[in-house]
Amino acid sequence: MMALDDIRVLDLSRLAPGPFCTMMLGDLGADILLIEPPPDSRAGNAPGSGRGGDAYNALGRNKRSIILNLRDDEARAVFYKLVETADVVLEGFRPGVVQRLGVDYETLRQKNPRLVYCSLSGYGQTGPYAGLVGHDINYISIGGALGMIGWPGQPPAIPMNIIADFAAGGLHAAYAILAALHARDRLGRGQFIDAAMSDGVLYLLASSISGYYASGGRVPEAGATMLNGSIPAYNVYQCSDGGWISIGSLEPHFWANLCRVMGREDFIPHQFDGEKREEISAHFRAQFKSKTRDEWFDVLRETDICAAPVYGLDEALRDPHNLAREMVVEVEHPEEGRVKQVGVGTKLSETPGSVRVPAPAPGQHTDDVLTGLGYDAEAVASLREAGAVA
């Protein structure tokens, strides 16, 4: 038994946020069916979208794939049959597209009132920006996150596409879908989820927003607050080998331990003292230059200090703790053999998740799905001949 092995999801999404959402659901057992566009469709997969049959593509794992040309009436009829027994539909188009395709919530709920329908978009289905195009960098800009990241007097530091696409987008949508499925058990009907990445960014900033209002409107600036680099206790330091180590000694006892290791117990009363800040930072910078990054980590981890080496991704994937937590796993691919992928982050004691199969090739399961819906070989051939499926 797996936590979500009774849940069927139809995934219409293309770019990273949607596939990450359904990867999470699939890792926990949900049956994920990708509804892929024809290869020559304008709505096809974009570079880096995390779709297709790449052996190492974690975003496509634990999923099946059917190619449907939803602009075709017969293909839509196939999709409607799938909706009748589905629990969830996820789409990531710009507002208005699903209405034009005839696969919007109001249409589909008539066919399956228990359906949970999630529209995952940049700015949501309402509001003055709803129709705007965008990517992660734009959503974290509108949401106020990008302006806090970096150092004073420097351009904002762009943090990959983790915050909006994956956290405020995919993770936010998965959480909303599970909440709606739980509510369905009590209401007896599904509902529509309007998941906006710009909303999700602001949601992630709940603590910062609380501080802003509580302070009477003090704006957290890049490198100028306690948690983004303004104090020596919560910062990064370069070591003798050029590597960096992160320090997060906010609590007084951790700070005291750090000061002792740095040979300056006299700094203990001055953790948040603005007048001593540069003196303390200069001393710490000099001290950390006396050993390599890994030497410092060995020292600090034994002295009850919040510290960690700043890894490149290759190092993170070799770290013994990450390996012990099974955050690197292997999956069997029919052509490449055993390949490595990221493990399942959610650890459940009774119904653990797993990586069962690699990403499918687009349309790999078209015939199987159609046969399961009752189409015979002649009907499948006719649909293919008409360009409704591929």
Phi and psi at 237, nearest 5°, equal -135, 140
Out of 72, 135, 294, 319, the active site residue is 135
Q: Alpha-carbon distance 195 to 198, whole Å?
A: 9
Q: Alpha-carbon distance 243 to 235, whole Å?
A: 14
Q: Alpha-carbon distance 67 to 363, whole Å?
A: 5
Pair of tokens at residue 137: 């960098």
Instruction: Tell me, yes or no, if 376 is annotated catalytic.
Output: no
Out of 165, 172, 199, 365, the active site residue is 165
Pair of tokens at residue 347: 């650890």
Instruction: Tell me, yes or no, if 182 is annotated catalytic.
Output: no
**Residue pair 366/358 in contact by the 8 Å Cβ criterion:** no
The residue among 251, 235, 243 whose CA lies nearest residue 283 is: 235
Q: Alpha-carbon distance 318 to 309, whole Å?
A: 13
Amino acid at 320: P
Q: Alpha-carbon distance 372 to 364, whole Å?
A: 14
Angle at 291 between CA 236 and CA 154, to 5 degrees: 25
Which residues participate in catalysis according to the annotation?
135, 165
